[in-house]
Amino acid sequence: RSGGMSNELNNIISRTTDGVYEGVAIGGDRYPGSTFMDHVLRYQDTPGVKMIVVLGEIGGTEEYKICRGIQEGRLTKPVVCWCIGTCATMFSSEVQFGHAGACANQASETAVAKNQALKEAGVFVPPSFDELGEIIQSVYEDLVARGVIVPAQEVPPPTVPMDYSWARELGLIRKPASFMTSICDERGQELIYAGMPITEVFKEEMGIGGVLGLLWFQRRLPKYACQFIEMCLMVTADHGPAVSGAHNTIICARAGKDLVSSLTSGLLTIGDRFGGALDAAAKMFSKAFDSGIIPMEFVNKMKKEGKL
């Protein structure tokens, strides 16, 4: 009847038998939602249940229904039961034991009277709660000896993972890297670009184009592709001092700003009209080509739209 005591009862049964098939706490209310007999009869009809354990308490008459069930032949499986609250007889007046229904309003509702009635009906009743585990084990072992119960194999308990901070302190794990790269590798004795040691890069004289092929495309490019990359770099290496980016950088430097600030002022001017003009032009050319218009029409159209 007690939800809290059901935890201890499950513990006792688990330590003295091969486990609990099902456990229900009906609660100690005066008018519970279900009764002992509701569940005891259900367990009687459940093939997996071989013995029934009931933990009653002072107050109410539910335990007497179990007695009648045994006497009428409705309950044939072994029943172990104990009603807690036997200490109530030590008090000169009635005592309310926590639960709303844990109070004996008449002699038949005392724990002592119910334990005696259960014992006379053929229920296995221990002398005290302390010996409940022993009598459960005794009934269980008898059922095993008679072949009624085939003990289930003990399931190995799941491994509890080690605490992260403790495992890290022991050096078993480490915090994952915040930044990762699959292009270059600096962990060993030699720098590696896309799987190729830097000494091999120098030995084969791959040049800037070959290195950029490894870093940008993660592969070795053919000679003509490397030459094309190097040609692009040579052509675009310097646009001179007149473009807006260089001009702004020069002005900031003459104004006494530091190198980083001067460079940043020039970089901030990059957009579709400078620096990024190649990207914008490529998009425009591609769109014009896909549309099938001739260059003259394209130029006139861009001028009309104010983009040239």
Name residue 13's amino acid. I
| Angstrom distance (rounded) from CA 225 to CA 274 | 26
Question: Exactly one of 39, 99, 239, 247 is catalytic; which is it?
Answer: 99
**Alpha-carbon torsion angle 192, 197, 203, 204, nearest 10:** -80
Indicate the DSSP class of residue 156: P
The yes-or-no answer on residue 99 being catalytic is yes
Rg of the chain (C-alpha set): 44
Closest CA to 251 of 267, 266, 269, 271: 266
CA distances from 285 to 232, 267, 273, 274, 308 (A): 19, 25, 15, 17, 13
Burial of 1 (0-12, 13-18, 19+ CB in 10 A): buried
Contacts of 288 (CB under 8 A, 6+ apart): 295, 298
SS3 131: helix
| Residues designated as active site | 99
